[in-house]
Amino acid sequence: MIKRGQIIELDIEDLAFGGKGIARINTENGAYVLFVQNTFPGQRVRAQIKKKRKKHAECSLIKVLKRSPQEELSSYQEISGAPYIHVPPKIQEEQKQKVTLEVYRRLAGLQNIDELFDEFIPSPEHYHYRNKMEYSFSCIEHDLETDEDIDDAFALGFKHRGTWWKVESLNKASGLFDEKWEVFLKEFRLFLEKTGLPAWHPPRKEGFFRHIVVRKSFYEDKLLINLVTSSQGISDFNLQKVADFLKEKMGDRIAGFQHTINDNVADRAKIENGDCTLAFGKDHVTEELNGLLFEISMESFFQTNPKSAERLYNKALDYVFEGNRSLEGKVVMDLFCGTGTIGQLLTQRTEDTKIIGVDIVEDAIKDAKRNAERNNIDGVEFYAADVGKFLKAYPDYAGKIDTIVLDPPRAGIAPKTLLKVIQLGAERIVYISCNPSTQARDIKTLEEYGYQTKKVSLVDQFPHTSHIEAIALFEK
Ligand SMILES: C[S@@+](CC[C@H](N)C(=O)[O-])C[C@H]1O[C@@H](n2cnc3c(N)ncnc32)[C@H](O)[C@@H]1O
């Protein structure tokens, strides 16, 4: 019988939601199922047993030993964040649709999901679609050619799958982000290495270079660069020299270059936070969505695939207005509104509608207010608050809200908050989710309290990953 920690070779036969490949083995107690994250049917893989249950085990992928016959080797460097880079996009999309609809059937109890399913909306671009990328430095490098670790290295790229300390240097474009920048990254790494200052040592929590965060505006075709370092050895660091090198090599593609000193060693600390100096340019970029302009600073949330986000928002608004409804004189709530994009886009389709946006992040609300002003939008009010607390503090909204747009984070809506949302008694709810499994759980509750699921669409915001965005329409 298999044991936890054991390393095993498996043939992946099928796919489950969340990028979990399914393998089966025979044991003395009968057939046994093993799920291996980030794998694809047809692959032979080496995996490690992480969690063992009576009838199944969860494994982590160590290495793909044989590619699936459905894969076509792409010229991009495979990174842990894009396990399906070699699977043709059309096949990725078919698989995503199949496994996601199964989640609604199984977890939400929607046996008629095939009838409710409206459409699968692919990403307009399958490559170079991301508008933000975070690269890590480490002096422990995982060498992709030899599959061995190198200490005292100067690696810059992405974490080796399943580790937080080893980095695989990016030597060519990943296919996800700006190609010109990623081709340049190797040259930038060699330049930074020559400063003599060390890359971060994650286990020892010492070193100088920690991360590079890059934001891209497709509208301006510009990049905002944030170099994050510690303060260890800062007196030997010449920021101007780095700025000059960036200017020389990337020219006016760089909107701004900032240097952040972050000495916080907590693993989950937000890496962009810390003392920030703007070396040149500006500290934000501007993106366009459906004709409206949004200023995005380094820290604020913005949909990662803006071209696909336009399709997502259009579909969500189609659901809000479906059946030629008029929202004139009505109140709409945009809960978990981030920088307020949905509420602002909604005003393009209606007049004299009051929109209330709520998000817990104060900076996002500040951005939302500033962007609404810049786009000359009236009738939208934004509040920085926890949605649950906000609804508790304003019980008078109950019975007065016509439509609610919900777009919670991956973890979904806290059960108590969902009940408060239901108590508002809105006629219609449009629920956007980046995690259909938590959405499916919430659908069960919504249906129990009298909301009927009318339609579900899927939007592929994240090609080459297992992630998918869903939009569901509910009516009372
Ligand atoms: C998926 S984003 C939605 C953003 C927005 N709809 C958009 O498209 O830009 C989820 C948002 O929920 C916010 N959030 C997370 N927990 C929250 C809470 N308890 N109350 C209010 N907002 C919360 C996050 O700050 C984040 O902006």
The CATH number of whichever domain residue 183 belongs to comes to 2.40.50.1070
Binding-site positions read 303, 336, 359, 407
Core vs surface per residue 233-257: b (16+ CB within 10 A) or e: eeeebebeebbeebbeebeebbbbb
pLDDT at 297: 79
Same domain, 48 and 144: no
Query: For a pLDDT cut of 70, what percent of the chain falls above it?
Result: 99
Tokens of 257: 């270059």
d(CA 102, CA 419): 26
Domain for residue 294, yes or no? no
Residue 137 belongs to what H/E stretch? strand 132-138
Decide whether any atom of ligand 1 lies within 6 Å of the 301 Cβ: yes
d(CA 265, CA 271): 10
Same domain, 153 and 207: yes
pLDDT at 269: 55
Give the pairing type, strands 148-150 and 403-406: unpaired
Domain for residue 317, yes or no? yes
Kindly report the average pLDDT of the chain as a whole number: 94
In angstroms, what CA-CA distances link 9 with 24, 81, 184, 244?
11, 22, 37, 50
Same domain, 319 and 191: no
Q: Which atom of ligand 1 is nearest to the CA of 364?
A: 27
Choose one of 336, 339, 362, 367 to mutate for the ligand 1 pocket test, by most ligand atoms within 8 angstroms of C-beta.
Answer: 336
| ipTM confidence | 0.99
For residue 434, indicate whether it is catalytic.
yes
Choose one of 359, 390, 410 to mutate for the ligand 1 pocket test, by most ligand atoms within 8 angstroms of C-beta.
Answer: 359
Same domain, 342 and 467: yes
In angstroms, what CA-CA distances link 409 with 209, 267, 388, 413?
30, 21, 14, 8
Catalytic residue, from 59, 139, 337, 434: name it. Answer: 434
Spatial strand order of the sheet with 7-11 comes to 7-11, 44-52, 56-66, 30-37, 20-27, 14-16
pLDDT 10s digits, 3-46: 899 999 999 999 999 999 999 998 887 889 999 999 999 999 99
Same domain, 99 and 176: no
The residue segments making up the domain with residue 11 are 7-71
pLDDT at 162: 86
Same domain, 180 and 67: no
Q: What is the mean pLDDT of residues 302-328?
A: 95
Q: What is the mean pLDDT of residues 417-436?
A: 97
> Are 332 and 405 contacting, i.e. CB atoms less than 8 angstroms apart?
yes
Binding-site positions for S-adenosyl-L-methionine read 303, 336, 359, 407
CATH code, 114: 3.40.50.150
- The number of domains in the chain is 3
Domain for residue 1, yes or no? no
Domain for residue 76, yes or no? no
Same domain, 108 and 161: no
pLDDT band at 270 (very low <50, low <70, confident <90, very high): low
Same domain, 190 and 116: no
Nearest residue by C-alpha to atom 26 in ligand 1: 338
The DSSP code sequence of 277-293 is: EEEEE-SEEEEEETTEE
pLDDT 10s digits, 351-360: 999 999 999 9
pLDDT 10s digits, 213-265: 999 999 999 999 999 999 999 999 999 999 999 999 999 999 999 999 999 88
Same domain, 190 and 310: no
Same domain, 446 and 317: yes
pLDDT 10s digits, 123-151: 999 999 999 999 999 999 999 888 899 99
Nearest residue by C-alpha to atom 20 in ligand 1: 386
Same domain, 120 and 238: no
Domain for residue 158, yes or no? yes
pTM of the model: 0.91
pLDDT at 176: 97
